[in-house]
Structure 1
Amino acid sequence: MSDWIKSRIRSIPDYPKPGIMFCDITTLLKDAQGFRKAVDELVQPYAGLGITKVAGIEARGFILGGAVAHQLSVGFVPVRKKGKLPAAVLGVDYALEYGTDRLEIHADALSAGDRVLIVDDLIATGGTALATLDLLRRVGAEVVAAAFIINLPDLGGALKLESMGCPVRCLCDFPGH
């Protein structure tokens, strides 16, 4: 499965800046069979585990997370950058290579005891995913796991999430990125 999914992902050198090899999932998403297979693979391990919400990280996590939530018949929680949500929010600041950023969810998006699956397209250094994990736990949610299409294992994000007690599932690895 890993090679099949991987074969449908385009790599773009030097985007968004020199030295970066960008993994573009739009080629997977435009392939009806590929998109369906990826969503099915993200859903399958979590069916029947009592997930109550899927938290999708901006922006490609909205596409995948919405589809996963639909398949699991649960609600969807968008995890957004600062200032993008219209109602009262809860947020967490997190460190970037140069500076900080902030992620937010609506204050009423989750209840204590919700069992949440985090979904995004890719895990690299783990900064955004770790901030999401922190935010969800702060509101009393139980994060069951995090699921991604792509893992960049050389950057260590998946291992960081696992070290925080969050199991990780990735459909394919792109070493050396």
Structure 2
Amino acid sequence: MAATINSPVVNATTATPRPAAGYVWALARISLGWIFLWAFLDKTFGWGFATPAAKAWINGGSPTTGFLKGTGENALGGLFSALAGQAWVDWLFMAGLAGVGLALILGIGTRIAAGAGTAMLLLMWAAELPLTTNPFMDDHIVYAIVLVGLALTGAGTTLGLGNLPIVQRNGWLK
């Protein structure tokens, strides 16, 4: 991949690659991937961090009920609380958490993961409106911005499997 002056991982003066920036994006990718994957694992097995064992998915709990039922008073609460606990919503949400988390950690499918993760984060952000601590900005938006940055910088190639020939041959795996 040729370096361009507009790329955030190159020095704008000399247009030479800046490896340190690639490692920062890789660490951001892996860290954000872990946030998604951990949410999946904790909601599935109820390891007691955010989800008690009694409410774990494998014990019959719903991974979406706690969050979505709590949105009833919010601007879009009627829509989101109606989705709480529905099996198709639980499965879609959990597949999203696992898929985005694994893709980001491995560095494969980073663009798809960034799109799916951004959609999930924006829906969670919308479910919480109106925000109580800031008029519009919260961690969901910040994470979504980072996901877009990961997709735009090809962050799967540093400390990830994004350099594998199969990934390089198939753009949808980047």
Give the structure with higher Rg (CA).
2
- Range of TM-score over shorter length: under 0.3
Where relative contact order (Cα < 8 A, 6+ residues apart) is larger, the structure is: 2
User: With structure 1 as the length reference, what TM-score do the two structures score?
Assistant: 0.26
More helix as a share of residues: 2
User: With structure 2 as the length reference, what TM-score do the two structures score?
Assistant: 0.26
